[in-house]
Amino acid sequence: MIVITGGAGFIGSNLIKKLNIKGIDDILIVDSLGKSEKWKNLVGKKFVDFIHKSEFLEKLQKNCFPNIKTIVHLGACSSTTEKDADYLIANNFHYTKDLLHYSLKNNIRFIYASSAATYGAGEFGYSDELDNINNLQPLNMYGYSKQMVDEFVIKNNFQNRVAGLKFFNVFGPNEYHKNSMVSMVHRAFEQITTTGKVKLFKSNCSDFEDGMQKRDFVYVKDCTNVIWELINNSQVNGIFNLGTGKARTWIDLTNAVFSALGKQPKINFVEMPEILKGKYQNFTEAEMNKLKSHFSDLKMTSLEDAVEDYVNNFLIKENQYN
């Protein structure tokens, strides 16, 4: 059995689809649905059970699931503007630690989600080598909660027994429920189809012109491909970046959405909200050599091709739940 925490979420539901395509449906989903529309991400997916995240740890400790072979821990509060530090530590740090300890004790493959938010302003670069990870200074509490996990793994020398993935700017199908945290691809699509224009933040740094801030945008399908490889190669362990390795500007991304829709770009620049000032990453770019040293055939979809697929095969067709 494969356990996927956050299985009804963005990356989790795409991973379930990937596993189903591979003929795997012995999947246990751990998540919290509440009153959101996230449940739609599970429609058409094949799995054996769904357990609320608040019940899972207790049942796990009682050995209610004796056949677990792999835990892919994607569940977390991913809001970069969340201010409740106690909640983030409990939900993102302690929950992860409990799952990690259980997995190691019971010889279960453990793969967990870290984040590029740990890199902060990038003053230490974007190397996923262990010495560099210990130096990182995240700009927000979400990033710090992920940094705490990475540091815990390294301090206890677990990096040779588990796999952690520092996801960069992931976008793609099934993210609609993320509200303010949806990708700019999704946001741009909505703005273009309703107003014909896209709003981008003005630069808050003299090193970057408006719209020329850069991020490493990675397609969710590429992310699930990597997770699939890690599930099937349990000897590959460590903390790895997961991006494309090529930073692109917000203007590049926005132009790709306009192009996918067959429209000429129209961009308006607006002031950055106060809540983001001083906490905004103006540049991220994954160093991918470490992951590629294990998977030499790894190829990442270009920004333009990924946006074209997402817009025309999911957003336009309103098929983002499949």
Structural domain of residue 38, as residue ranges?
2-171+217-245+284-301
Residue 178 binned pLDDT confidence (cut-offs 50, 70, 90): confident
Q: Which CATH number do you get for residue 106?
A: 3.40.50.720
In a domain, 128, yes or no: yes
Average pLDDT, the chain: 95
Residues with catalytic roles: 142, 178
In a domain, 272, yes or no: no
In a domain, 251, yes or no: no
Q: How many whole angstroms from its chain centre is CA 9?
A: 10
Burial of 115 per CB tally in 10 Å (0-12, 13-18, 19+): buried
User: Domain total for the chain?
Assistant: 1
The β-bridge relationship of strands 217-219 and 267-270 is unpaired
Residue 103: the pLDDT is 97
What is the average pLDDT across 150-174?
A: 98
In a domain, 268, yes or no: no
Helix (H, G, I), strand (E, B) or coil at 198: strand
The answer to whether residue 322 scores a pLDDT higher than 50 is: no
* Interval 89-120: pLDDT, tens: 999 999 999 999 999 999 999 999 999 999 99
In a domain, 85, yes or no: yes
Q: How many CA atoms lie within 13 A of 15 on its CB side?
A: 29
Q: Pick the closest to residue 142 from 97, 90, 81 (CA basis).
A: 81
- As separate numbers, helices (DSSP H) first and strands (DSSP E) second, the chain gives 11, 13
The answer to whether residue 65 scores a pLDDT higher than 50 is: yes
Helix (H, G, I), strand (E, B) or coil at 73: strand
In a domain, 279, yes or no: no
Residues 6+ apart with CB under 8 A from 253: 184, 185, 188, 215, 217, 303, 307
* Interval 245-288: pLDDT, tens: 999 999 999 999 999 999 999 999 999 988 888 778 899 999 99
Backbone angles phi, psi at 50, to 5 degrees: -130, 125
* Interval 18-58: pLDDT, tens: 999 999 999 999 999 998 889 999 999 999 999 999 999 99
In a domain, 315, yes or no: no
In a domain, 107, yes or no: yes
Residue 318: the pLDDT is 67
pTM of the model: 0.95
